[in-house]
Chain A
Amino acid sequence: MGNNKNQISIEEVGRVAQLARIELTSAEKEKFSRDLSAILDYVDQLDEIDVSTVAPTSQVTGLKNVLRQDVVVGFDQAQLLVRLASTSQENYIKVKSVF
């Protein structure tokens, strides 16, 4: 650590990991802090390009607003999907209380 232009601290990694809902060990936080700093240094080279007049590309083949009829299609495998959950009751997926 220390030589990177971008310094992503261990605390910052912990905060981001919490947002991403991943519990990290302190060893992981330290490693990812180093990796993240190095990767951000690498991607900093994009700053060399002036993109002030360039439009972003989000859909590369130019498709726009692909629409379809809003019709109900039957699905008879609901039980199969419910069974994939770790806990279920009757035909419902059981989850921990949200509040």
Chain B
Amino acid sequence: MAKAEKIPILARVLVAVSAVIGIAAYFFPLWGYHLQAPQYPEGLDMWIWLYKLTGKVDIINDLNHYVGFMKLTESMFWEFKVLPVLTGILILWGLWVALVGTRRAFYWWLGYYAVFAVFSLADFYYRLWQFGHTVDPHAPIRITGYVPPMFGTKHFMNFTISSLPAAGFWVLLAGFVVAVLALLAAWPRAQAARAAARG
């Protein structure tokens, strides 16, 4: 692989599209929780964004204190400071890759995207595990080993808790899929075949 070997225009365009799609992740929540209980027929929603929590967080915190769950505040998550920057890097880097179009830069960027995705999801799961295992030992009601759902629905006391990715996540996933399409377009054998076809 030559140092300055370029990937095809199609791949570069796809990389640019993938990067631009990522911008939408700042404008939509990544993950949504929906809590339902007999006393809350209308449900309580909480939304996790790249950089903030929205929805009925205060009410959920008030309820959580009975079982000694930690109080959710934005300041306790370093992720809210780091994730917007990591996403920004992803977008700017992607645009730069599209501009210069070298295969090496493209692979590094794609690797970054994959690591970013795996790391974020793993960190999210760790946070859920930590939430369920860091309970106030003096709480009025004692519980052990409950971990809130990441995908799907779980029952906990009087609540049915559903967790699903939200628009922001699907946007980033779409960006990743486009990036994978770019990889297919730039795949050396495919490129060689096209070059051969052109003769």
Physical interaction between A and B = no
Which residues of B does A touch, CB under 8 Å?
none
Which residues of A does B touch, CB under 8 Å?
none
